[in-house]
Structure 1
């Protein structure tokens, strides 16, 4: 791929991500992306082959964003548990920053869209290798860091997904978490910390 072509592709993906964040899934059409990019629908088809190819590329871009976030975290400190909690908090912020983007990554908001299996495997493996590396530093000797990381991620993901779901609907007056950012973050911190403790993760 020539540099000019790559730049053009990135322009369309930036437009697609903007459409996803600002208009939601209904606006995520070839026409909608072409309009956001200031181009024709034919140019979108020429680069991505259609909506399925565009969605695959956008799916990859969303995981690139998460990978870049993980790569941009401060270097590991002597307190590996604190580093892991910080990662979990940044993951929550990533999800809250754009629930629609997060849904494209981990749910099925686009009817009929199923990412290419090879692509899905590649982006998940690349992204979670960074997460596993943080977990491995605080695992018990002989523990399977991949399994432990998966268990911790499912807890993190569950807490985040439940929070996003509740935030997308009208607040319940008798819900056991007060409808404030502080209360939700504290509940999240407590849940992640409990899971870290339960998995036996500790500084060596």
Structure 2
């Protein structure tokens, strides 16, 4: 790809990401992205071949942002459990930074969009491997880090999806959680800790 073409592609992806963050997944149309980029719809079609190509490229970009977040975590300490919990809390912050981006990555906000299988395998594997590295540090003999990591990853996603859904709507009267960030953060933290404990993950020194 020539530098000018790369720059043009990045401009459209920046515009698509802005549309996603500002207006949500349903606003992700060729026309909406073209207007945000100050270009014609033909230019978007030329770069991406249509909606599917644009969506795939944006899907990849959102996972690049997650990978960058994981790679920018503080250096590992001697307390692998604390490092793992810290990653889980950063993941929550990533999801909360923009629920629309999180939905595009892990849910189905666009029913007619199915990411390219090869692309999906690559981006999920890349981010999951970074997560598994943290899990492997606290996996004693006999525990498969990938299986344990998947179970913990699922807990994190489940808690976040529930939180984002519940807090996007008016509070339910009598719900056991108060509709505050502090309450939901604590139930997320305790849920992650409980799963870590239940999976038998621990520091190598036994702590």
Please, what TM-score do these two structures have when normalized by structure 2?
Answer: 0.97
2:6 paired with 1:3: no
Unaligned runs of 5+ residues in structure 1 are: none
| Mapped partners of 2:111, 2:135: distance in 1 | 35
Q: Secondary structure of 1:74's partner?
A: coil
**2:187 paired residue number:** 187
**2:28 paired residue number:** 28
Q: How does 1:57-136 map to 2 (within 5 A)?
A: 57-136=57-136
Unaligned runs of 5+ residues in structure 2 are: none
Q: What is the RMSD computed on CA atoms of the aligned residues?
A: 0.8
| Mapped partners of 1:26, 1:165: distance in 2 | 17
Q: How many residues align?
A: 204
**Paired residues of 2:26 and 2:109 also in contact (CA < 8 A):** no
Report how far residue 142 of structure 1 moved: 3.3
| Mapped partners of 1:26, 1:125: distance in 2 | 27
Report how far residue 162 of structure 1 moved: 0.5
**Paired residues of 2:34 and 2:44 also in contact (CA < 8 A):** yes
| Mapped partners of 1:143, 1:193: distance in 2 | 17
**Paired residues of 2:25 and 2:110 also in contact (CA < 8 A):** yes
Report how far residue 111 of structure 1 moved: 2.2
